[in-house]
Structure 1
Amino acid sequence: MREREAALREAAAREFDLIVIGGGINGAGVARDAALRGLSVLLIERHDFGFGTTWRSTKLIHGGLRYLEHREWGLVREGLHERSVLLRIAPHLVRPLEFLVPIYHGGRYGYRMVQTGLWLYDLLALGTSLPRHRALGPEAVAALEPALNRVRLQGGFAYCDAHAPFPERLCLENVLGAVEAGALALNYLEAVHLRAARGRVQAVVARDRLTNAEVELRGRVVVNATGPWVDQVLRRAGARGDRIGGTRGSHIVVDLGAAGPRRAIYAEAGSDGRPFFIVPWRGYHLVGTTDEPFHGDPGAVRPGECDAAYLLAEAARVLPGAPLGPEAVLYAFAGVRPLPRAEGRQAGAITRRHFLHRHDAEGLGGLISIVGGKLTGYRRVAEETVALVFRLLGRAAPPCRTATLPLVPGSSPAAEDALTRHLVSIYGGRAGLVLALARIDPTLAEPLCPHGPDIGAQAVHAARHELACTVADVLLRRTPCGWNRCRGMDAAPRVAALLAREFGWNADRTEAAVGAYREEVDATLITDAGVP
């Protein structure tokens, strides 16, 4: 924590070329790109990095096959290009994933329509690395996934996209990359006011949520990358109007054991025709998503009253051979997509494009807001945003390097055992640092909980090198331990004890840290989500 206090003092003493508000995937990507191009950068986040939409997504890196229905050719092409970039620069975090699309007689999306869509998808993906789609007869589809519903099965298709099993790590590595390039990054620092004078934003007044102290931060340009909170931040600057029309995406995580599908299923809901996914994930299956308007606090979003039951029923209809009863549901979660406001349009028809808003006309020169976008396109969003920042600074922009520079430096250690393979899948070239801690102190090689392979050394590494401040930071956004069957509850006391040793907490604070973790998990990974 002493390093954080020093960073906060430095932030208050300097004037930065760029202050980025919001430490989700877009803000983290902007901070890294800007720092790599030589700008002085401060990144602040009111909660933890990746806390908002980033870690509550379906975790897919894709062009968006569904967007072809709305003729979003450019968006799909951009997504497929960015998918290829991420597979190359972050191969341990972004991995190819095969999808199976079963087609049923009488469905909303007929065989010819899906075939045409996949042909276009392949065409737009020309020059990328993944194989083209394959057409399959009903027997071949059933053979690939025996648990599938065979009633009225017409056939199907197999195609490749990608996924990021740990999107919170993708976000964090951008934050760490920004810091390594010279940026300052502070979580739990909330922008409470943007001070403007003479038609320009002059400073950001921020409150440290760990100490309640306020600090004034000076920057020549400010980027509002707060996702579904964009309008809230703008109101703190005196701006009016709504630019975000957020929609809620709910998911359930189910444990099907060995009876679940071995590849991702992209299916059509029988009750309303909406597309949804069933994705193998960390030994479980992720089922989602919904797409409904949301007008509440994005930080308190929960699955809708019927969302979990709807997803479970639709998954059971597609996979009658899988044990998809209520007892299979481990928990549900939801996030808010920061889509552009579009009055009168159905949620599924709102564009997933991103937009950069300048606020000069509102007397807020030097302020840029990012509206929209999705996980796959974060790097491109950052590239465009940083180019605009340079224009506002009146400086020539050096070339962007993020399309070719590896996200994580160094080579991964040889994966000779299951633990090393697991750590490499999370840390890539940084895995050796975690293994070294376990070698120095063998007690740190012990598992954090019986439901997963994560070890104590990961918690220590998070505290020393990954800007973690709380138990939830470690279990939910530095390691995947919080997504285990127990939601990290079994690991929380041990992680709190390890953080107490690192940060000098007393017994009362350590106990409070465990309680705070339980509160956060109960508010985000919901076990009473209304499944009958």
Structure 2
Amino acid sequence: MAVDRQRALAQLQQETFDLLIIGGGITGSGVAREAAHRGLRVAVVEARDFAAGTSSRSTKLIHGGLRYLKERDFRLVREAVVERMRLLRLAPHLVRAEWFVFPVYRGDPDPLWQLRIGLWLYDRYAGRSLGTLRHRMLRPEEVLREEPLLRREGLVGAGMYVDAVTDDARLTATVARQAAAAGAVVVNYAEVVGFVKDERGQVVGVRVRDRLAGGGPDQGGATPGEAFVVRARKVLNATGPWADHVRRLDDPASPRLLRLTKGIHIAFTRERLPLRHAVTMRGPDGRIMFAVPRAEFAYAGTTDTVYRDDPARPQPEADDVRYVLAALHRNFPDAGLGPDDVISAWAGLRPLIDPGDARDPGAISRDYQLYWSPSGLITVAGGKLTAYKAMARNIVDRVFPETRGAPADEEPLPGGHRPPGEAELRERAARTGLPVEELRWLARHFGDEVDRVLGHLRPEDLQAGPRAARVRAAVRYAAAEEMACTLADALWRRVPEALWSTDNGRGVAADAAAAMGEVLGWDEARRDAEVAAYLGQVQAMHAWREAL
């Protein structure tokens, strides 16, 4: 189902909703899908693009959180492991099982016997659905056969277990589409600027400004700066790092709920970091980190530092990159990785619930809670990408208890019904002229909706080369059916060239802007402005290099 932004804007102004959700990240989109699945009338307004914040800046793992077992947070781990297995089934094109190697060295805080017990629990929580993907323990020589680049000195063994990897931004955008298909009204670039209250001071709606009106892709509607009212019985603040800001729009005296911490990741070509599997590793200070393969690339992270600046602009800094490079050098000393090998980097914020003390960020719970303000505004704080469906079920149960007992939502995500196999991709390659490796890329990102994407491929696209042809078709699809409104929406989140190409999408930016412009009616000046804005964001991603 295509998402029509202009129509959705009109619906926002015409209806009264059961639930209005502020925030189009994975939490807001997941709650919208669950509530709409139960027959509630739902709207979502997002101030920027879907997944523009934390939901596109994670470690891109769907995992149980093995380290939380040590903290005895068994409920959180069990929930995450069960949800991991569910997403492997419901979104096979976006969530893929991946073997992880967890090496143990002399002097590590967690001995091998303790890791063995943890992995046994991990598998037990997954149940029979894990099948043959159960953990095994490795002797040092077996570890090095699996991952030859790992440090040999002091190696006493490893555990090898299964978790999953994902494309977090595409997962979020796809969940938002699924919510729309269930009847939710979802709109990006719709910023909440205030609340509407009744005579008792209870929230009955919000004032929203269309940030694209007048000069964006949708002409007409509200003029720039003009706010309109959206009415709803209940309002949920699911804005992640912005939750405290939204609470202060309701009540300037609202106490702070969150402690924001920043995590960064750096990416390389697989040639420079030739991982065979994902590796659970330790940083120089003993912190658990990951090195993860992703097609022809690999990435590593993450940091965990307190963040007090603008939530809209977290960036990797030189010290962050040095820390991750030091961890890689410690674990893969022969790889010789340095700053010049980094092709991309990203920073995200964890909206952790402030425990009210000075504990280390890594010791703060990743669980979530709901808070009711005196005005009736409901805020969700905390949470994990992996457990978004379980969070959504619990939140709707609590906010609308009369809907409890509704059938579980086990519908595969768009694209996840039957992703095409190799023979089908080769047939499409022969039919379209697009090389099979480009079709594999489309299948990894769009699943069984590949043919809908190929419906936007034009014969003249192939003259620009295979990569440009694939990007042109995919960004047209993103603009026409996934509410991508800017070039950055497309190349950072829908068609993620910014992170996963050696030129960060520079070589296809003009092609992509021209293709999106055909769908959205951009003139030459608008196309040039989109390209300039995108290239500026790419440059900002690499700003840390100046300090090195």
Which interval holds the TM-score relative to the shorter structure? over 0.9
Could you tell me the percent identity over the aligned residues?
A: 39
What's the TM-score, normalizing by structure 1? 0.93
1:419 aligned partner, one-letter code: E
Query: 1:398 offset after TM fit, Å?
Result: 5.7
Alpha-carbon spacing, 1:389–1:445, altered in 2? closer, same or farther (3 Å): farther
* Alpha-carbon offset, residue 256 of structure 1: 4.3
Distance 1:103 1:446 in 2: 52
More displaced 10-residue stretch of structure 1: 481-490 or 178-187: 481-490
Residues 102 and 155 of structure 1 are in contact (CA less than 8 Å); yes or no, is this contact kept in structure 2? yes
Give how far 1:223 is off.
0.9
SS for the counterpart of 1:125 is helix
- Cα distance, 1:306–1:168 mapped onto 2, change above 3 Å: same
Question: C-alpha distance in 2, partners of 1:453/1:336?
Answer: 34
Deviates more, 1:496-505 or 1:471-480: 496-505
Give the conservation status (yes or no) of the 8 Å contact 2:3–2:481.
Answer: no
Match of 2:123 in 1: 122
1:419 positional shift:
2.9
Equivalent in the alignment of 1:218? 231
What is the TM-score with the length of structure 2 in the denominator? 0.90
Q: Which residue of 2 aligns with 1:48?
A: 49
Aligned to 2:400, the other structure's residue is in SS state helix
Specify which of 384, 399, 408 is matched with residue 401 of structure 1: 408
Q: 1:257 maps to which residue?
A: 271
- Tell me the amino acid that sits aligned with residue 211 of structure 2: R
Against the structure 1 CA distance between its residues 429 and 401, is the aligned structure 2 distance closer, same or farther, given a 3 Å change threshold?
A: farther
Residue matched to 2:155: 153
Map residues 204-353 of structure 1 onto 2, 5 A cutoff. Answer: 204-211=206-213, 212=224, 213-238=226-251, 240-257=254-271, 260-269=274-283, 271-342=284-355, 343-353=357-367
> Helix, strand or coil for the counterpart of 1:70?
coil
Match of 2:218 in 1: none
What is the Cα deviation at residue 531 of structure 1? Answer: 7.5
| Alpha-carbon distance change, 132 to 449 in structure 1, aligned in 2, over 3 angstroms | same
**Residues 530 and 70 (structure 1 numbering): CA distance in 2 closer, same or farther, change over 3 Å?**
farther
C-alpha distance in 2, partners of 1:353/1:37?
24
Once the 2 structures are TM-superposed, how far is the Cα of residue 126 of structure 1 from its aligned partner?
2.6
Question: C-alpha separation between the residues in 2 aligned to 1:82 and 1:256?
Answer: 29
Contact 2:471/2:512 (8 A) holds in 1 = no
Q: Name the CA distance, whole Å, in 2 between partners of 1:35 and 1:253.
A: 37
Deviates more, 1:303-312 or 1:405-414: 405-414
Whole-Å separation in 2 of the counterparts to 1:448 and 1:432: 20
Note closer, same or farther for the CA distance 1:476–1:447 as it changes in structure 2 (3 Å cut).
Answer: farther
How far did 1:421 drift?
2.4
- Higher deviation after alignment, 178-187 or 500-509: 500-509
2:221 match? none
1:388 is displaced (CA, Å) by: 2.3
- What is the aligned partner in structure 2 of residue 461 from structure 1? 477
Q: Which residue of 2 aligns with 1:385?
A: 395
* Secondary structure of the corresponding residue to residue 469 of structure 1: coil
Contact 2:31–2:395 (CA under 8 A) maintained in structure 1? yes
Cα distance in structure 1, aligned partners of 2:76 and 2:298: 28
Could you say if the C-alpha distance between residues 447 and 141 of structure 1 is closer, same or farther in structure 2, counting changes exceeding 3 Å?
farther
Match of 1:71 in 2: 72
Instruction: Please report how far the alpha carbon of residue 113 of structure 1 lies from its aligned counterpart in structure 2 after TM superposition.
Output: 2.5
C-alpha distance in 2, partners of 1:517/1:316? 32
Contact 2:267/2:342 (CA < 8 Å) preserved in 1? Answer: yes
1:354 pairs with 2:378: no
Aligned partners of 1:246 and 1:298: how far apart in 2?
9
Long gaps (5+) in structure 1: none
Native 8 Å contact 1:189 1:206 kept in 2: yes
Q: Give the length in aligned residue pairs.
A: 518
Which is worse superposed, 177-186 or 255-264? 255-264
Which residue matches 2:447? 428
2:267·2:344 contact (CA, 8 Å) conserved in 1? Answer: yes
How big is each residue's C-alpha offset from its partner over 1:97-135, in whole Å with a ceiling of 9 and x where there is no partner? 101111111222222222232222223333342522111
Mean alpha-carbon deviation: is it higher for 248-257 or for 375-384? 248-257
SS at match of 1:142: helix
State whether structure 2 residue 490 is matched by structure 1 residue 474: yes
- Residue of structure 1 equivalent to 2:9: 8
Contact 1:454 1:479 in 2 (8 A): no
Of 525, 528, 535, 1:511 maps to 528
Find the aligned partners of 1:430 and 1:331 in 2 and give their Cα distance: 28
Q: Which residue of 1 aligns with 2:430?
A: none
Alignment of 1:4-153 (within 5 A): 4-129=5-130, 131-153=133-155
How far did 1:429 drift? 2.2
CA RMSD for the aligned pairs? 2.1
Q: Which amino acid aligns with 1:56?
A: R
CA shift, 1:207, in A, is 1.1
